[in-house]
């Protein structure tokens, strides 16, 4: 049924070569969307594009370091030309982290996390707005974190960027509803990706994560991708301004 399809839709997914972003690129393509993605590593991007071509997915990509404002602007110019000035879906996925006690962060650490996780996300939203208006409908999905909802020892700068994203989600939902643009955020708990594998490889850490998680395991990228795609479907047309956790029940787990 058309309400469960993204046939004809156009999408930009940031950071699509690995982890959650990669799973979202593939799920969007499976649902019929044309997707553009980006990452910093040129050869990894080229290898990914080749693989997607083999699978008959309509995916294009460009190299972009989102922490640079100029490169984000160039990325959007590319997206504009690839999709003829019309974009339906923005998945703000790329993000990074440096874990330290608050007093040990340098000014460089601060600006690296802020520029990648927050400045670029905000800037991309500004840049996609005219393309979404032009296309008639839009869905923005932010990949936030449960670390933006509760304190989890993820590092206070990362937590601040994700908390800010949760609020931007609500602001844009209200401000851009009149343009038929919806805005939602997904807040995952631990998902098996390159961002956190070094942490999860530590058995003690892994066990401490599992102990807090009612479903007794960490998540897979596909389990985040399914919600991201759902939020873009016509089937989700009355859902906007929400921050939804994909966390195996972690955030509702009290004393047990
Ligand atoms: P990964 O590190 O596995 O993948 C990140 C992707 O983003 C890669 O494709 C990477 O490619 C790209 N990327 C990173 N920095 C930039 C940049 N500056 N410019 C362009 N592309 C970039 O991360 P995850 O899949 O785990 O994380 C995705 C999102 O999910 C992040 O926002 C993260 O905060 C969030 N999240 C993850 C959780 C987890 O447990 N994994 C939990 C909660 C939230 P390249 O390095 O080549 O640029």
What number is the ipTM of this complex? 0.99
Is residue 256 scored above 70 in pLDDT? no
Mutate to test the pocket of ligand 1, among 67, 79, 95 (most ligand atoms within 8 A of CB): 95
Q: What is the mean pLDDT of residues 63-73?
A: 98
Sign of CA dihedral 77, 61, 96, 249: positive
Please give the model's pTM, rounded to 2 decimal places: 0.98
Which residues in 195-221 are b (16+ Cβ under 10 Å) and which e?
bbeeebeeeeeeeebeebbeeeebbeb
Is residue 249 scored above 80 in pLDDT? yes
Give the pLDDT of residue 103: 98
Distance 73 CA to ligand 1 centre (A): 20
Q: What is the mean pLDDT of residues 65-89?
A: 98
Tokens of 154: 């993820």
Query: For residues 22 and 15, what is the distance between their CA atoms, to the nearest angstrom?
Result: 7
Q: What is the mean pLDDT of residues 35-62?
A: 98
DSSP3 helix / strand / coil % (the chain, rounded to 5): 50, 15, 35
pLDDT in tens, 81-132: 999 999 999 999 999 999 999 999 999 999 999 999 999 999 999 999 999 9
Q: What average pLDDT does the chain have?
A: 98
What residue's CA is closest to ligand 1, atom 2? 195
Q: What is the mean pLDDT of residues 219-246?
A: 98
Give the pLDDT of residue 255: 73
DSSP secondary-structure letter at 246? E
pLDDT in tens, 171-184: 999 999 999 999 99
Tokens of 167: 């609020």
pLDDT in tens, 8-18: 999 999 999 99
Mutate to test the pocket of ligand 1, among 18, 65, 67 (most ligand atoms within 8 A of CB): 18
């Amino acid at each position: 049924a058309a309400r469960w399809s993204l046939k004809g839709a156009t999408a930009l997914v940031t950071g699509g070569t690995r982890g959650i972003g990669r799973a979202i690129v593939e799920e969007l393509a499976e649902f019929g969307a044309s997707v553009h993605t980006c990452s910093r590593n040129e050869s990894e991007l080229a290898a990914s594009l080749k693989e997607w071509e083999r699978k008959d997915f309509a995916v294009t990509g460009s190299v972009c370091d989102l922490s640079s404002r100029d490169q984000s602007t160039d990325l959007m110019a590319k997206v504009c030309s690839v999709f003829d000035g019309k974009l339906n879906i923005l998945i703000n996925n790329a993000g990074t982290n440096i874990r330290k006690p608050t007093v040990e962060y340098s000014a460089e650490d601060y600006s690296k996390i802020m520029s990648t996780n927050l400045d670029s996300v905000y800037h991309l939203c500004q840049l996609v707005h005219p393309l979404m208006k032009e296309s008639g409908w839009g869905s923005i999905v932010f990949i936030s974190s449960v670390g933006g909802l509760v304190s989890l020892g993820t590092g206070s700068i990362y937590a601040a960027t994700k908390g800010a994203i949760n609020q931007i989600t609500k602001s844009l939902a209200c401000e851009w509803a009149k343009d038929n643009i919806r805005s939602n955020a997904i807040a995952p708990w631990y998902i098996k990706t390159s961002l956190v594998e070094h942490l999860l490889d530590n058995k003690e850490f892994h066990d401490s994560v599992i102990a807090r998680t009612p479903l007794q395991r960490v998540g897979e990228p596909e389990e985040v991708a399914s919600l991201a795609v759902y939020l873009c479907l016509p089937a989700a047309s009355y859902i906007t301004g929400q921050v939804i956790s994909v966390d195996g029940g972690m955030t509702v787990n009290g004393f047990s």
